[in-house]
Amino acid sequence: MYNVGSYLAARLTQIGLKHHFVVAGDFNLVLLDQLLTNGGLEQVYCCNELNCGYAAEGYARARGAAAAVVTFSVGGLSAINAIAGAYAENLPVIMISGAPNSNDRATDHLLHHTLATHDNSYQLEMAKRVTCAAVSITSAADAPHLIDFALRAALREKKPAYIEIACNIAGAPCASPGPISAIIAEEPSDAASLEASVAATVEFLQDKQKPVLLIGSKLRAAGAEREAIELAEALGCAVTTMAAAKSFFPENHPQFAGIYWGDISSPGAREIVDWADAILCIGAIFNDYSTLGWTAMPSGPHVLTAEEGRIHFGGHDFGGVHLREFLSQLAREAPKKDATMVQFPRLRSEHAPAVAAAPDAKLTRLEVVRQIQSLLTADATVIAETGDSWFNGVSLKLPGGARFEIEMQWGSIGWSVPATFGYAVGAPERRVIAMIGDGSFQLTAQEVSQMIRRKLPVIIFLINNRGYTIEVEIHDGPYNDIKNWDYAGLINVFNAEDGRGLGVRVATAGELTEAIKAALANREGPTLIECGIERDDCSADLITFGRRVAAANARPPRN
């Protein structure tokens, strides 16, 4: 026998989830009880609903999908920011909200946790703007169909979905689940469109001598990372990635030519893209951040854009085509075009390798990055917060198998702490390293306590330069100054009587080396290493980025 809650739990396990993130509230308590009855689905508790949504988003990066369960209105509206981020970042996070008793619909009852109006459909209407499917369940008989509809949409579109369940319906009996293939089965590409798009692309490439691939973050959502490698090797050309797609193409691959980001690209990457006579943009997202204020946006007849469901370039626009099928078939038919790989070594001017600082030398940003580099192994994942951590993280050289996570489209500061928590829950076999600034940390710091609760050996490098450095470089003012915290000491607060987290404050290169050793030895909880550096010790790339974004923001109104 199934009820609505146990049906939902069964479906979540069938789509591959082993955990769901939760903040309890009176409208979701019966639902949480029913979810607990499924032994294959563990509840993971969070400090607040915003962090719950961020944690689920991080989990989806590790496992492909995630679920966050919150209460109505006071919880749901708090979580919506994180769900909007998942929408922007193309991650299928299922937001599940308890809701008022179905008998209170269309009555004169005013309910707590609401806007004190008689219409309580507002959360559903808000959720529709940040999800690909939003359903409200007030009938147990309709629950299986509506749950399946929402899950199917999320998995196919790689976007969040919203499921609202009335509190008196969660335990009501319903039908048992049908075959999971109805949810996870994928429709193939339109065969004629696939053939036509590949043929037109081959013709497009025939008279080109210097093609280059530019990989964007939508590649992962399309499930096409392996096929991108196939195409690259078939063409033999140079491959660059956008910052938000770092690690989506192996950085130890012989054709990897670095991060393309306009004036702050990796050595040689901008030059090889500028030199190319054909740019194949695969899963790219061009916004003001990724293009440095629209100064690095490939355009013109030599640019081909391929994304999930659409291939378009000069005079052609094909729909109904799965990106991975397009890339795979193109790899079988594309001509060899390796001129950019011949030219790239000539263009690249290697940076001098970072030299280790003396143990007693005052800590600098470059020394922090150098020592983080030594931690990177095939099973490492680096999660970089919005700010200078973006640029410091992008500069790391990743070994094969290492992953890099960034939230460049949504760019909500504070994202990285709970996202790191969720990622570590979803991928316990990986070494998870977070890079975050002090300002961002203050927004969501309490989720470190949940890392301690679950004994996750995350390593957090917290750069304490006493302010919002990225905002300083875009537009400075007194609002960029923050109250300093004892960040390392905060771990003792979270540990309380039973935690095994470790907080260490470092001010020299030698102290950082010892702190990293202690972090590697601490397998019973997270380690936060508070790295004190000068306020103006930031990357040159951040300065350039800030100048470009400020210029884009300052454009005067058109007449």
pTM for the structure as a whole: 0.94
> Which among 343, 328, 447, 332 has a CA at the least distance from the CA of 58?
447
> And the tokens for 220?
């992962």
**Cβ 435 vs Cβ 383: under 8 Å:** yes
Judgement on whether residues 180 and 207 belong to the same structural domain of the protein:
no
Choose one of 132, 158, 184: the last residue of a domain: 184
Residue from 124, 125, 126, 81 nearest 99 by CA: 124
Task: Tell me the residue range of the domain where 283 lies.
Answer: 191-347
CB 221 within 8 Å of CB 308:
yes
Spatial separation of the C-alpha atoms in residues 2 and 172, rounded to whole Å: 8
Helix H segments across 129-174? 143-157
Report percent pLDDT > 70 for the chain: 97
Task: Decide if 50 contacts 78 (C-beta within 8 A).
Answer: yes
Burial of 125 (0-12, 13-18, 19+ CB in 10 A): exposed
Residues 482 and 535 in one domain: yes
* Percent with pLDDT over 90 in the chain: 84
Q: Residue 51 forms beta bridges with which residues?
A: none
pLDDT in tens, 253-311: 999 999 999 999 999 999 999 999 999 999 999 999 999 999 999 999 999 999 999 99
Element (H, E) at 47: none
How confident is the model at residue 490, as a pLDDT? 97
Q: Is 80 exceeded by the pLDDT of residue 476?
A: no
Q: Please tell me whether residues 387 and 506 are part of one structural domain.
A: yes
- From the list 396, 410, 436, the residue with the least C-alpha distance to 526 is 436
List the CATH number of the domain containing 266: 3.40.50.1220
Rounded Cα distance, 475 and 286, in Å:
23
Q: Which residue has the tokens 């319903």?
A: 174
Pick the last residue of a domain from 125, 159, 184: 184
Asked if 145 and 223 sit in the same domain, the reply is no
Whether pLDDT at 35 is above 80: yes
In a domain, 247, yes or no: yes
Cβ contacts of residue 296 below 8 Å, gap of 6+?
260, 261, 262, 263, 265, 270, 290
Given a contact cutoff of 8 angstroms between Cβ atoms, the answer to whether 194 and 321 are in contact is yes
Q: What tens digit of pLDDT does each residue of 166-207 get? A: 999 999 999 999 999 999 998 999 999 999 999 999 999 999
C-alpha to C-alpha distances, 178 to 35, 144, 517, nearest whole angstrom? 18, 9, 51
- In tens, the pLDDT along 345-375 reads 877 654 556 788 999 999 999 999 999 999 9
pLDDT at 544: 83
Residues 177 and 195 in one domain: no
